[in-house]
């Protein structure tokens, strides 16, 4: 068996494990910083005077652009699925930003329409136009989701170093399921911390369950192939 398929030497495995644990701790602290920012946003009052860093600003804006289309993906079987999107471009002060909106908001809005915005550290977190209201994650919330995903991946490397230690196992095809799980797991943790709608919970749980099932099935199939190869080598005296 080649070195690629064998376990790492004990000393190298310990070094990799130490580095992975260090990375896991660093990612957890990194996520904790974003969590503090997300909590600060939720506790921030509306600004009563001039906008400041510790309050949510209310500003006037104007719709200066509109676009719509479809975002399409193709799976491994060649099946194509598309999801429509609708976006408004809003100017507020000396800034502009594109924001996703619902179909109803898009249909009722026209270029030049006034909009009422709420911003946190310069980013739009709420948009009101033509009687429609759209809300968005704060920059800290977005950052928290990605940092939680990075923490999940670092945790996976720690598990690999403890359980397997084979270089080939780190990039094995079933482990792509672990990579895919990073976002739904991050979303579930974020939802547990700050709440999520029933639809969001259902979508995240279904997606996570599908990836987990796919990953476990892949491991079982790969395990059968490994056993088959081992029996073949013993049979032929390899």
pLDDT of 72: 82
Q: Are strands 114-120 and 57-74 parallel, antiparallel or unpaired?
A: antiparallel
Share of the chain above pLDDT 70, in %: 84
Confidence band of 81 (pLDDT split at 50, 70, 90): confident
Rounded to whole angstroms, how far apart are CA atoms 91 and 98?
9
* Cα–Cα dist 168/229, whole Å: 16
Per-residue pLDDT tens over the stretch 94-131: 999 999 999 999 999 999 999 999 999 989 999 999 99
pLDDT of 61: 96
pLDDT in the model for residue 130:
95
Residue with tokens 């429509």: 84
51: pLDDT strictly greater than 70? yes
- pLDDT level of residue 92 (50, 70, 90 thresholds): very high
Average pLDDT over residues 3-29: 82
- pTM of the entire predicted model: 0.75
CA dist., res. 44 & res. 66, Å (int): 31
Rounded mean pLDDT of 82-103? 94
Q: Which helix (H) or strand (E) holds 46?
A: none
Greatest mean pLDDT among 54-58, 88-92, 138-142, 201-205: 88-92
Provide the pLDDT for residue 185: 92
Report pLDDT for 5. 53
Of the ranges 103-112, 166-175, 183-192, which is most confident?
A: 103-112
Contacts by 184-189, CB closer than 8 A, 24 or more apart: 184/208, 184/211, 185/148, 185/149, 185/152, 186/145, 186/146, 186/148, 186/149, 186/152, 187/145, 189/148
What is the reported pLDDT for 1? 44
Of residues 80 and 95, the one with the higher pLDDT is 95
Q: What is the pLDDT of residue 160?
A: 84
Q: With a cut of 80, say whether residue 174 has pLDDT above it.
A: no
β-partners of residue 95 are 92
Q: What is the mean pLDDT of the chain?
A: 85
For residue 17, which of 215, 188, 139, 155 has the smallest C-alpha distance? Answer: 155
Which token pair is 180? 């895919």
- Sequence-separated (6 or more) residues with CB below 8 Å from residue 6: 166
């Amino acid at each position: 068996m080649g070195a690629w398929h064998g376990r790492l030497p004990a000393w190298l495995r310990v070094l990799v494990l130490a580095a992975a644990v260090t990375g896991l701790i660093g990612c957890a602290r990194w996520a904790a910083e974003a969590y503090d920012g997300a909590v600060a946003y939720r506790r921030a009052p509306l600004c009563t005077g001039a906008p400041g860093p510790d309050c949510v600003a209310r500003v006037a804006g104007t719709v200066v652009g509109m676009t719509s289309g479809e975002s399409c993906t193709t799976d491994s079987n060649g099946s194509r699925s598309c999801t429509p999107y609708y976006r408004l471009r809003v100017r507020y002060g000396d800034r502009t930003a594109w924001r996703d909106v619902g179909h109803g908001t898009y249909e009722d809005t026209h270029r030049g329409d006034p909009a009422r915005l709420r911003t946190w550290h310069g980013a739009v977190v709420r948009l009101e136009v033509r009687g429609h209201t759209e809300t968005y994650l704060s920059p800290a919330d977005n950052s928290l989701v990605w940092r939680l995903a990075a923490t999940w991946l670092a945790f996976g490397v720690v598990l690999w170093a403890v359980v397997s230690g084979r270089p080939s196992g780190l990039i094995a095809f079933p482990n792509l399921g672990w990579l895919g799980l990073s976002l739904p797991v991050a979303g579930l943790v974020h939802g547990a911390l700050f709440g999520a709608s029933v639809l969001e919970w259902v979508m995240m749980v279904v997606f996570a369950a599908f990836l987990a099932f796919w990953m476990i099935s892949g491991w079982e199939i790969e395990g059968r192939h490994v056993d088959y190869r081992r029996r073949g080598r013993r049979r032929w005296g390899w």
